[in-house]
Structure 1
Amino acid sequence: MKITLNNIEKVFQELLFQEDTDQDKKITKEDKGPKRFVLIDEKTKVEKVITGTYHLSNLLQELALLREQKVNELDLSHVEEAPVERISRKIREDYWDELTRTIDKKGLAQILEDEKTANEVPTLYVSAKDEVGVSYFKDLEKDFKNFKVAVLPKDYSVDYVDTLNTKPGILALALEQKVYSLQGVPFVVPGGRFNEMYGWDSYFIGVGLLIDGQMEKAMAIAENFKYQIIHYGKILNANRSYYLTRTQPPLYSSLLVSVMKDRKVSREWLKKHLETVILEYNTVWMVQGNRLTPTGLNRYKADGVGMPFEVEPGHFDDILAPYATKYNLPIREFEKQYLSRSIVDDELDLYFVHDRSMRESGHDTTNRLINTCANLNSVDINSFLYKYEKDISYLIKNYFEDSFQAEGTTYTSQDWGNKATFRKNKINELCWNEAAGMYFDYDFVNKKQFTFEAATTFFPLWAGLCDENQAKKLVEIALPQFIQSGGITGSTKASIAGVPEDVPQRQWDYPFGWAPHQMLLWEGLINYGYLDKAQEMIYRWLWLITKNAVEYNGTIPEKFNLETSSHKVFAEYGNVGIEFDYISKEGFGWVNASYQYGLQILNDDFKTQLNSLTLPEDLFKV
């Protein structure tokens, strides 16, 4: 049913005045209005009464859209839409497009206005290896008044990257030839304040895109992965100059396997990407002394020295304070001199080796990895690389008649199967703890397990490297220690019990919950036949997303506090995806993806329960 509202602006302002009592440009459960608003159809003069926080916030969102579109016909079906259907529809029809960027003539303006562009003249860095890109972007300099293109050397050093910290910028991504011009290969940003392509976010986003039928965008993620490996030597933490020394969790092969489920994708497309996956595996992960350790397992190990550039002043005050005292300097002055390398302190430098490596892991930050990351054969990185080895074996066997050439070497499926078997045995030897029923990171420097209880203990379920006994213990012993009403926390409460109170609360630890942990857990449970438990865990997370969207004007944030079942997070960096006026237009990338992925698996009875916001406690034992 549609109704005509001749003066949209008047209705919009009346609704805000009446219902947005805290004046935050949203209608939420915290507003104290009457929660009842009357609409009058200008054509029929029939009244329509809208009641309750959820429907009033939907009305606000729909009116905001009508204002933008300059139309006056309101579709009441969107105002009265059931929560699950509305959230999923908005993700499918709107959010992916809102999060899509390109680095080209059309897309540069938005990217150059980014709040994190610190240069007086916004700078785009292009690899000298990309001759077409250098020529294209140099030509664009004249089209933008305040824009500079800088060319990265073909073989740049860590020391060279350090020199860019005083003139940071965005890194170019892939271009493709269209009918009339070169255009940027699109990428999907996480959300909120981000205008760059993030490594492991992009895989989970790709899963959501594939579910929602956006194959071209999912394939574009793979194209930009390939471009980064060829031109920057790795899949970057993100495409900014200060991330050139840092990669992210490897999920490229998983994306390829997902894409290839569509039989229309060519074998030639896969061939180019499989070559690049193998190149990345050999040159990024399997170089002894860097990310490969003497145990035969891997670690995260970023390059660079000192504080990571992207962190705002004050973030490391608890770490820097003793050193400021040591050098008899005010903390801001010490920070300034340490950043400029006027002061060099080996002990502090070592701390930041671990910190940079932790940021490479994607888990920035967690007490699991602080001041220890580069010493750990972590469960997460080795699960990801086991999956690489299994995926490459699968792709060679199923698409290339069991023989594939890359970098002058001919590989068979069995070659990669052997690598996977070796890694699986080593992980189980060094990381599995039978008594605890968990996988722990292995400290190869001190030759012992680091028994911090983290959600990464479930990654072997996802990778498929556990035996049935290990899977049973993970589900029956480990999992209950992580479960809250809305899903699993990043760590157990017990794991952070000994952390001093004056230390900052870490966003990847208890009580916070993140989409990638949930999604990998769900797939792992399904892998081992724990289908009922998978349904439960999916329901818990989707209930949390739905509840917050219903109560808070459609908010879909980066992460949640699972102790309070809320998007209100006050640890470290706060939360992303919660700052908007009137209408959330983009959600948050991997949370959007988790919603679509979960709905694809969740049974119809649970979907009905979701729409009524039935509490998980009423359906499952916590």
Structure 2
Amino acid sequence: MQFKGNIEETLQRLLSQEDTDGDKKITIEDKGPKAFTIDLLSEDGFAKAYVIKGTYYLSNFLQELALEKALGKTEAIIPLSKIEEAPTARVSRMIKDYFWDDLTRTLDAEGLRKSLGDDKATDATQRLYVPITDAEGVAYYQNIQQQFPNLEVVILPKEITPTYVKSINEKPGVLALALQEGKGVPFVVPGGRFNEMYGWDSYFEGVGLILDGRIDLAKAMVDNFCYQITHYGKILNANRSYYLTRTQPPFLSSFIREVYEAAPSIGKEWLASVLKVAIQEYETVWMQAPRLTENGLNRYYAQGVGIPPETEEGHFDDVLSAFAKSASRTDNEGGLFSIKAYVELYQSGALKEPKLDSYFTHDRSLRESGHDTSWRLDDVCADLNTVDINSLLYKYEIDFAYLIDTYFNGVFEGYQESHWKMVAQQRIERMNMLMWNEERGQYFDYNIQTKEQTHFESASNYIPLWAGIASEKDASQMLQSLMNDLKEKGGVAGTSKKMNDQVLEGAVQRQWDYPNGWAPHQMMIWRGLKNYNFEEALQELIYRWLWMITRNAVDYNGTIPEKYDVVACTHKVYAEYGNVGTEFDYITTSGFGWMNASYQYGLSLLHPDLRNKLDQLIDPDTLF
């Protein structure tokens, strides 16, 4: 049975009846009759009146009409099976068949038309910055510049200093990525307003891509990471000019290993080339001061000068107003500084504020951690050996050992497998000495200034399970702490309610904190639980997260956003930067990168009987 009819006429009739709030979606908030009559054609060509009932089926019909219209059709043919598709099958199919392609970009002549045409430029000029070390890229982009009247190709200096980066803050632009045979090597962006390849987002997107058979695209993203290390000295926060002094959480060894093991036909030559670059990143970015501290553990430490330019207007007003008042009291003329006047003096260098410089070092480092922003790291990040960065670097060390042993006969680039096992073991010993808390049953960030653990309860404290750091005994204690402190109806919260209750009254809600939950935390914790065979908890936490995503997709026209409130189980989260992926007409064609991946990864691990219950949207609190 299938619907066959005029797209525009049907769309207008459907929206007129069902989209009562006029947002070009059909959601539970619309007040229409939630019943729409269409004609269905049987296989023998006979038409039969059929009533589509309920928000979910009506929104599916709206989405399918929109997809047909996007193909340039005037008449749609839509099988009933797509209108009444099971929720998990539909969400998963949309991710696999539509979302990944819509999120894919290239930085070549074709791709630049989309990547440069965004709203991040402060003037009419769209800029593309190219490293001077990439002769092929310089020649290519200078050659195509004439195709883009508003494009300025800028060649970066060989030495990129924080002062230089500050000097181009008013001239922001995209940073070039890899080219291959005159074509841009593709990458996946997070979604919505983003047109850049982001650091840790890309790894999690890669997990989903591999599951969906898009190994070519996952490999391409590894290649772009290696290009960034080779030409910019690090994996960038994202390929934007103002991110040149900042990296993000390192996942390259995991990415390489998972891509290669999914498709060994790529060849050992490729594996050798990318493994060499990953070791280079480990040694030059992470195992050097200032990111390497005296105790042998690591921290996030982003360089830079002045105020991070990518933040929303007013983001730092509370901090800046306090410094402006203090400066006013010491001003020789006794005048009061407005925030604007104070910022102008500070940014110009005319006003020296070491404490404010320190605050912005912490803030940049917080953004380098990917957790932008969280009270866990506010005004302290650069002083912390964090659990997450040390767990990730341990994973590099054991991945290097594994890859060298498995594919290179135990020796690679002068390193034996045993070297990497040794440094990994040394890291475990240091983490256990400084970060492990037996009484609390979890690892905590360690403050190198106070020589104390922070005791801040967060999802990142459980990344040692993902990396395989914890002993079986310690892992059992961690499981209990995790379920007690962070489990909410919709999955794992970024930080605990207890931590949230300690935030000063009236303080800004930070997006990485309670009650919000994020896909990378869920995915890493799931894999950690799987590593230690905690199957019952694994199934429960997967179900809770997927139930929340599925429930919102069913009720809100297929919405798959950046983040969720895991306590209220809603996508209506507007802390700090809003919620990317909630604004669209008729249908979301991209979802959000790591959210898409978490859905596919969760389904791949979920027991079939729980998937059946998920399609029925059975409340998790009745199951667990």
Q: Deviations over 1:284-328 (max 9, x none)?
A: 00113x100001000000001221110021011111111222332
TM-score w.r.t. the length of structure 1 is: 0.97
Per the alignment, residue 342 of structure 2 pairs with 334
CA displacement at 1:118 relative to structure 2: 2.4
Per the alignment, residue 15 of structure 1 pairs with 14
CA distance in 1, matches of 2:481, 2:542: 19
Q: Deviations over 1:186-210 (max 9, x none)?
A: 0000001000000000000000000
Per the alignment, residue 583 of structure 1 pairs with 587
SS in 2 for 1:264: helix
Per the alignment, residue 387 of structure 2 pairs with 379
User: What is the identity, as a one-letter code, of the residue corresponding to 1:389?
Assistant: E
CA distance in 2, matches of 1:494, 1:26: 37
1:356 to 359, 364, 369: 364
Contact residue 166 and residue 306 of structure 2 kept, 8 A: no
CA displacement at 1:41 relative to structure 2: 4.5
Contact residue 459 and residue 524 of structure 1 kept, 8 A: yes
CA displacement at 1:479 relative to structure 2: 2.6
Per the alignment, residue 54 of structure 1 pairs with 56
CA distance in 1, matches of 2:344, 2:110: 38
CA displacement at 1:403 relative to structure 2: 0.7
Gaps in structure 2 of 5+ consecutive residues = 329-335
1:598 to 594, 602, 606: 602
CA distance in 1, matches of 2:246, 2:481: 35
- More deviation in 476-485 or 8-17? 476-485
Contact residue 191 and residue 588 of structure 1 kept, 8 A: yes
SS in 2 for 1:466: coil
CA distance in 1, matches of 2:582, 2:422: 46
Per the alignment, residue 304 of structure 2 pairs with 304
- More deviation in 494-503 or 134-143? 494-503
User: What is the identity, as a one-letter code, of the residue corresponding to 2:601?
Assistant: Y
Q: CA 1:220/1:202 → structure 2, altered by over 3 Å: closer, same or farther?
A: same
Contact residue 545 and residue 556 of structure 1 kept, 8 A: yes
1:117 to 118, 121, 130: 121
Contact residue 83 and residue 611 of structure 1 kept, 8 A: yes
User: What is the identity, as a one-letter code, of the residue corresponding to 2:30?
Assistant: D
Identity %: 53
CA distance in 2, matches of 1:546, 1:338: 48
Alignment of 1:383-394 (within 5 A): 383-394=391-402
Residue 418 in structure 1 maps to residue 422 in structure 2: yes
- More deviation in 363-372 or 341-350? 341-350
CA distance in 2, matches of 1:340, 1:193: 30
CA distance in 2, matches of 1:61, 1:303: 45
Contact residue 526 and residue 538 of structure 2 kept, 8 A: yes
The number of residue pairs the alignment matches comes to: 610
Residue 86 in structure 1 maps to residue 90 in structure 2: yes
CA displacement at 1:609 relative to structure 2: 0.5
Q: Deviations over 1:54-98 (max 9, x none)?
A: 001111111112222213222221111000000000001110000
CA distance in 1, matches of 2:411, 2:381: 37
CA displacement at 1:256 relative to structure 2: 0.9
CA distance in 2, matches of 1:322, 1:109: 43
TM-score w.r.t. the length of structure 2 is: 0.96
- More deviation in 330-339 or 235-244? 330-339
User: What is the identity, as a one-letter code, of the residue corresponding to 1:293?
Assistant: T
CA distance in 1, matches of 2:21, 2:342: 42
SS in 1 for 2:265: coil
Residue 265 in structure 1 maps to residue 273 in structure 2: no
CA displacement at 1:368 relative to structure 2: 0.6
Q: CA 1:40/1:217 → structure 2, altered by over 3 Å: closer, same or farther?
A: same
CA RMSD of aligned residues (A): 1.1
Q: CA 1:120/1:336 → structure 2, altered by over 3 Å: closer, same or farther?
A: farther
Residue 570 in structure 1 maps to residue 574 in structure 2: yes
1:494 to 493, 498, 503: 498
Contact residue 121 and residue 171 of structure 2 kept, 8 A: no
SS in 1 for 2:235: coil
Alignment of 1:117-266 (within 5 A): 117-177=121-181, 182-261=182-261, 262-266=263-267
CA displacement at 1:330 relative to structure 2: 2.0
Q: Deviations over 1:127-186 (max 9, x none)?
A: 000000000000011111111100001222221111110111000000001xxxx00000
Runs of 4+ in 1 over 4 A off after TM superposition: none
Per the alignment, residue 346 of structure 1 pairs with 354
CA distance in 1, matches of 2:433, 2:176: 42
CA displacement at 1:116 relative to structure 2: 1.4
CA distance in 1, matches of 2:78, 2:166: 54
